Amino acid sequence: MKFACLLSDGFEDTEALATVNLLRRTGIEIDLISVFNKKTVTGSNGTTVVPTKLMKKIDEAEYDGLIIPGGKHSFILRETESVKNLVMQFYEQKKWLMAICAAPTVFGMMGIMDGKNYVSFPGTEKDMGKAIRVNKKAVTDGKFITARSVGTVYDFVFEIIKTILGDEALNKFKEKIVY
């Protein structure tokens, strides 16, 4: 299992890095992708990251899913053609699409979540098209996994593990991290 995590300046540090770190502990490979092909990317709280790959060099065939952390960059990514094209490729190939905080709006504004349950940062509902907001910390509907905010990072990770790897994997993971 291998995921791509999209980063650009203004990503939410904890949503990106904690999610990636925790999921890697399960054996899932994750590449950090620099959307705007910069050699370093800086989060909204000042954490500078050296991405694994540049967006211009990504081959979507290598990946089983896409993770988009929230933060201010969400509002730029949802208007970025290369991001929308990549999301659509993953969607059409029925790969996992995961987003937290404001990042589900990338999917919502594309209309690909219409009729699907989701959760996102409060106030982003207007940008979710005809998706159905639920009152949960994290939710899965089909190939979409979404979560509310930085305060629900563990819930997001647990939802991903449970949905993709199963309950037994989630229980082992929780033991491993002494949750």
Provide the H-helix boundaries in the chain.
Answer: 13-24, 73-77, 81-92, 104-110, 153-165, 167-176
Kindly list the domain boundaries of the chain, sorted by start residue.
2-176
pLDDT 10s digits, 128-162: 999 999 999 999 999 999 999 999 999 999 999 99
HEC letters along 16-64: HHHHHHHHHCCCCEEEEEECCCCCCEECCCCCEECCCEEHHHCCHHHCC
pLDDT 10s digits, 79-128: 999 999 999 999 999 999 999 999 999 999 999 999 999 999 999 999 99
Distance CA 51, CA 42 (A): 10
pTM over 0.95: yes
pLDDT, residue 141, reads 98
pLDDT 10s digits, 6-60: 999 999 999 999 999 999 999 999 999 999 999 999 999 999 999 999 999 999 9
pLDDT 10s digits, 75-84: 999 999 999 9
Domain at 2-176: CATH architecture: 3-Layer(aba) Sandwich (3.40)
pLDDT, residue 52, reads 96
